[in-house]
């Protein structure tokens, strides 16, 4: 598989490059507006590349949503979007693109987080009156808060608690409401990514947590998602499709 790596000079772009190098796949084009690191194969914009490619893997910025989705749709290339922080307007662009090519999107490419999401949902259903709070920890360079993964976990729990309100960055005066799913974002040092889901009744606290110890976890997940997309019809795919 020949991959266009979108966001190639970032922390995740480097992790993908490392995973791919020496393996069965190769990188056809590195895309990043930053200083060229991959002589002759790095492009400032994705539209600058018109060579052969089987899939696009994106770990960049949601600000690139239009260029990215237009390009994938026009060239008919399957697209894996791992970038977080998409606005509703940008999500509309992704949904339009998914009418023309297969698009895989997940705020967290790790199978472990998919398992945590499922467990948290089941625990929330078992304890309908319990308070639910999510705490996420990431490195101090992360652009968006709360993390896409924390929102994904909250939305997964919302499937069994349709009246829940997702409350982020709580502050000031006022009590927690029973239907709140609170999310707190902590930013410190070089933390790769930890998510803790608390489910608390008056007599017990259940904690379900996931700690990423290396960025390669997400890079491997994105490559698995790209392999999964090859040969699939146009449509919008996610982690649930990958793990079956
Ligand atoms: N889904 C997951 O599992 C997962 C895991 C880790 C990070 N992420 C997300 O991936 C994204 C990148 O993370 P990172 O830690 O590598 O960030 P980073 O800031 O280290 O790197 C971002 C990269 O995107 C490039 N970029 C910025 N704007 C661009 C544009 N308009 N067009 C093309 N390239 C552009 C930058 O030059 C850089 O190469 C973030 O949104 C992050 O939240 C997702």
* CATH code of the domain containing 129: 3.30.360.10
Sign of CA dihedral 45, 47, 48, 50: positive
Q: How many structural domains is the chain composed of? A: 2
Q: Are residues 64 and 123 in the same domain?
A: no
Q: Are residues 42 and 159 in the same domain?
A: no
Q: Is 13 in the pocket of ligand 1 (CB under 6 A)?
A: yes
Note down the domain range covering 86.
2-109+216-243
| Grouped pLDDT means (10 residues each) for the chain, 244 residues | 97 95 94 86 95 98 98 98 96 98 95 92 95 98 94 96 95 94 97 97 97 94 96 95 82
Are both 115 and 176 inside the same structural domain?
Answer: yes
Helices (H), the chain: 11-20, 65-75, 88-97, 111-126, 148-158, 216-229, 239-243
**Catalytic: 99?**
no
CB of 112 closer than 6 A to ligand 1?
A: no
Instruction: Output the pLDDT for position 82.
Output: 97
- What is the rounded CA–CA span in Å between residue 177 and residue 189? 32
Question: Catalytic residue at 138?
Answer: yes
Distances (CA, A) of 107 to 30, 55, 144: 21, 18, 12
CA distances for 4 relative to 46, 51, 111, 155, 176, angstroms: 8, 10, 23, 30, 46
The Cα 93–Cα 124 span in angstroms is: 32
Quick check: pTM over 0.85?
yes
Cα of 179 from ligand 1 centre, angstroms: 33
**Same domain for 64 and 147?**
no
Task: Give the per-residue pLDDT at 37.
Answer: 82
Rounded Cα distance, 178 and 164, in Å: 8
**Distance (Å, whole) CA 77 – CA 87:** 23
One domain, residues 7 and 100: yes
What is residue 243's predicted lDDT score, i.e. its pLDDT?
79
Which of the residues 100, 142, 158, 232 is marked catalytic?
A: 142
pLDDT, position 99: 98
**Which pair of tokens denotes residue 180?**
């709140």
């Amino acid at each position: 598989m020949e991959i266009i790596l979108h966001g190639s000079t970032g922390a995740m772009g480097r992790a993908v490059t490392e995973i791919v190098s020496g393996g069965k796949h190769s990188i056809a084009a590195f895309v990043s507006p930053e200083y060229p690191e991959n002589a002759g194969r790095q492009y400032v914009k994705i539209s600058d590349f018109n060579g052969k490619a089987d899939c696009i893997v994106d770990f960049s910025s949601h600000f690139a949503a239009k260029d990215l989705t237009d390009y994938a749709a026009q060239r008919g290339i399957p697209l894996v979007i791992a970038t977080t922080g998409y606005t509703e307007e940008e999500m509309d662009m992704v949904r339009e693109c998914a009418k023309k090519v297969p698009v895989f999107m997940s705020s967290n490419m790790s199978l472990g987080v998919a398992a945590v999401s499922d467990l948290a949902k089941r625990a929330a259903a078992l304890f309908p009156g319990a308070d639910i709070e999510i705490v996420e920890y990431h490195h101090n360079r992360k652009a968006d808060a709360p993390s896409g993964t924390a929102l994904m976990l909250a939305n997964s729990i919302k499937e069994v608690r349709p009246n829940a309100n997702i409350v982020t960055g709580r502050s000031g005066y006022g009590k927690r409401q029973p239907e709140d799913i609170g999310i707190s974002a902590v930013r410190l040092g070089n933390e790769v990514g930890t998510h803790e889901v608390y489910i608390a009744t008056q007599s017990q606290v259940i904690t379900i947590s996931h700690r990423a110890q290396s960025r390669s976890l997400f890079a491997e997940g994105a490559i698995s998602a790209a392999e999964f997309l090859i040969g699939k019809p146009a449509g919008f795919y996610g982690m649930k499709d990958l793990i079956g």
